[in-house]
Amino acid sequence: MCTKVSKEAQLRYMTSWFQEWSEMQRSDFLEVLLKFWAPPDKLMNGLLSEMENLNCQGSDKYPSLFQCRIEIFRKWSGTWSQSDKDSFLTSLKDMDGKFVEKYEERLSALMEDK
């Protein structure tokens, strides 16, 4: 059974999960954010993360909790408005300003390319 989760709850879940993640997981999540939120035409220069294949196909291993949460983020964030995205980034900035600074630097560099 699938339960519909409000956007407000989605944002709270994602913020809570982000707090639990290690630096390595946050670094992986940065790549996911860039892939999903940067303009598609700016991603053609090879910015394709290994995170794209998180479902562990062909493997006997189950996906990790982190991988499951990234998959949920992908599904949820596709329905978020720009205001929702901005709210999420503001929450992340309050928790880890350096993470958001890194995201903005990378996004800015992508936008300057081409």
- Tell me the domain boundaries of the chain: 81-113
Q: Quick one: CA torsion of 78, 81, 83, 88, rounded to 10 degrees?
A: -20
pLDDT of 47-94, one tens digit each?
444 445 445 555 678 889 999 999 999 999 999 999 999 999 999 999
Positive or negative torsion for Cα 100, 111, 70, 27: negative
The stretch 30-46 carries a mean pLDDT of: 75
Size (the chain), residues: 114
Mean pLDDT of the chain: 85
Q: Which of 66, 103, 73 is nearest to 7 (CA)?
A: 73
What pTM was estimated for this model as a whole? 0.79
More confidently predicted of 59 and 96: 96
In which band, very low, low, confident or very high, does the pLDDT at 42 lie, cut at 50, 70 and 90? Answer: low
Between CA 49 and CA 95 the distance in angstroms is 24
